[in-house]
Amino acid sequence: MKRESLFTKIWKKHQKKGENPAKLAEDLGMLKGLFSFKKYDPKTGLILFESQKYNTLTNQSKSTLIRLISQGESPWLGTIDPTELKISRMRFGNHDGATASRLNYYKLDETGGYENGETNKPTATRPNNPLPQSGEVDPDFAGGKSGKQEIPGANTTVDSILDAYDSHWVSGPDDTKVYTIPTLAAGTGYIHPPSHETLVVKFYKDSSLIETLTFGEDGDGVVYTRSRLGIPPTKITTETGEDPIIPPNEGGERDGGGETTIDETNEANCNTRLFYDYTTGSTGWKLKVEEIDYPEGAYDRIDFSYEVGKYNVINSIIPREGYNIGYGITNLTRYQGSLDYYSTIGDPEYRDSADDFIDDYAVTFSVNMTGPYGNGETDVNQDEYIRYTEAFLFNELDDMFSLVILPNPFDKNEGSAYYISWSILAPIN
């Protein structure tokens, strides 16, 4: 009998069964990333300043590694072409106060809420508020555009299902009802979940709020996975004087209003769940609802409220030339046709181990942000500049491999240039 390799087992366990990405990281071993930049005079080439910092690896980096070592067929990517997974791009932004998260990603054509109610301007909900220049109070050059103090995030998306008790559902397991979240249904081309920690589901009867399901709140670490088991709510709140719709998770009473917290000790008893449906022709994010047997017609409307793009960095990216207008789902509409990334230069630089028999345990990618690039609409004669605060590393599919929030933001106009290198290391010990 043919034995499976370790990497094949990892592939089947994580890529096909949707296991926790944190466990995947443990199986692969820890990686480190070191970001560094050198500021130099574009005329003389003289090095003026340098800085470095260890970066944060994203969840997408784990998927990239699994795909590289398997080179099979992914249910999300299809047939894997390893040449598309090589690290080849860097992007940079000027978001003030951003924090690095393993959940961050980049998606240019992500749809969700719309700026100022204009349906032709989809954008992510993560805003961009740039840092003020030295001696100034107000920020400037959001996305590199002169005079722009902010690129606002999109509005929260609200999907409503009317006549919900009587229709718009299909039968689920264990006498449950299954509702499709409209914007996240099959055919919309959207497979990301609602932004983690943002989904709130409300049940109404004759326009009166009856019950609220909360699927995590900001900062509590709840991540919406594609696990077939689904994700239970973290809290069920029944309005005062109303009969509950969702049964108490451990037989407790919530009649007349009240709140139940769903935690690790009782979540197995909660059969109401957010889940990703893998059924061909019916894929999408859905809600499975377990109801109390009474009363008949307990609700007639369901509202799904959630963010799209909370971790999408698109609004802070400054293109190589031009500026980021803050909306648009193509390079032409958002960046006036300019590339928004810098291609790595030359061949990657490999490093051997100094204390063990390992040939290649580190690789370094580099880009050159020369004088003419990355300046937005600044005027060097007026001493204007872009203050860069964050950097991102990508493969050719624009999967974000890692990111770094710069401890020393660097200032850029035509009078300055930067040589930037990014090393990925596999620690030996």
| Co-location of 163 and 300 in the same domain | yes
As a whole number of angstroms, the distance between CA 218 and CA 233 comes to: 14
- Structural domain including 420 reads 6-146+310-425
Q: Is residue 152 in a domain? A: no
Of 306, 334, 367, the position where a domain reaches its end is 306
The letter for the amino acid at 145 is: K
The confidence score (pLDDT) of residue 97 equals 78
For 404-420, how does the pLDDT look when each residue is reduced to its tens digit (9 = 90+)?
A: 999 889 999 999 999 99
As a whole number of angstroms, the distance between CA 99 and CA 78 comes to: 32
| Co-location of 110 and 171 in the same domain | no
pLDDT band with cut points at 50, 70 and 90 for residue 6: very low
**Residue in this structure with the two tokens 């466990």, named with its chain if needed:** 23
Q: Is residue 392 in a domain? A: yes
Q: Is residue 382 in a domain? A: yes
**Buried/exposed code over 238-272 (b: 16+ C-beta within 10 A; e: otherwise):** bbeebbbbbbbbeeeebeeebebebeeeebeebbb
Whether residue 246 contacts residue 272, with contact meaning beta carbons closer than 8 Å, is answered with: yes
**Could you give the C-alpha distances from 268 to 209, 225, 265, 273, 292, in angstroms and in order?**
26, 16, 8, 11, 17
pLDDT band with cut points at 50, 70 and 90 for residue 327: confident
Give the total number of structural domains in the chain.
2
As a whole number of angstroms, the distance between CA 410 and CA 164 comes to: 53
Whether residue 144 contacts residue 324, with contact meaning beta carbons closer than 8 Å, is answered with: yes
**Could you give the C-alpha distances from 41 to 57, 366, 418, 422, in angstroms and in order?**
31, 18, 9, 21
Count other Cβ atoms within 10 Å, centred on residue 133.
Answer: 18
Whether residue 93 contacts residue 388, with contact meaning beta carbons closer than 8 Å, is answered with: yes
pLDDT band with cut points at 50, 70 and 90 for residue 358: low
In 3D space, the residue among 370, 374, 366 whose CA is nearest the CA of residue 422 turns out to be: 366
Q: Is residue 151 in a domain? A: no
| Co-location of 286 and 414 in the same domain | no
| Co-location of 241 and 216 in the same domain | yes
| Co-location of 122 and 18 in the same domain | yes
Mean pLDDT calculated for residue range 355-382: 82
In 3D space, the residue among 66, 57, 104 whose CA is nearest the CA of residue 85 turns out to be: 66
pLDDT beyond 70 at 119: no
Of 306, 323, 352, the position where a domain reaches its end is 306
As a whole number of angstroms, the distance between CA 258 and CA 237 comes to: 6
| Co-location of 165 and 141 in the same domain | no
pLDDT beyond 90 at 343: yes
| Co-location of 261 and 319 in the same domain | no
Half-sphere exposure of 67 (CA within 13 A, CB side): 24
In 3D space, the residue among 294, 297, 341 whose CA is nearest the CA of residue 164 turns out to be: 297
For 154-207, how does the pLDDT look when each residue is reduced to its tens digit (9 = 90+)?
A: 888 899 999 999 999 999 988 899 999 988 876 665 566 789 999 999 999 999
The confidence score (pLDDT) of residue 354 equals 54
As a whole number of angstroms, the distance between CA 49 and CA 38 comes to: 6
Q: Which of 258-262, 286-290, 414-418 has the lowest mean pLDDT?
A: 258-262
More confident residue, 38 or 17: 38
The letter for the amino acid at 124 is: A
Count other Cβ atoms within 10 Å, centred on residue 424.
Answer: 21
Q: Is residue 325 in a domain? A: yes
As a whole number of angstroms, the distance between CA 50 and CA 53 comes to: 11
**Exposed, middle or buried: residue 175 (CB in 10 Å: 0-12, 13-18, 19+)?**
exposed
| Co-location of 61 and 199 in the same domain | no
Across the beta sheet with 349-351, the strand order is: 47-54, 32-40, 417-425, 362-369, 349-351
Handedness of CA 85, 88, 92, 97 (dihedral sign): positive
As a whole number of angstroms, the distance between CA 387 and CA 140 comes to: 9
Q: Which of 5-14, 285-294, 362-371 has the lowest mean pLDDT?
A: 5-14
Whether residue 129 contacts residue 153, with contact meaning beta carbons closer than 8 Å, is answered with: no
| Co-location of 162 and 255 in the same domain | yes
Q: Is residue 76 in a domain? A: yes
| Co-location of 220 and 327 in the same domain | no
**Buried/exposed code over 295-317 (b: 16+ C-beta within 10 A; e: otherwise):** eeebbbbbbbbbbbbbbbbbbbb
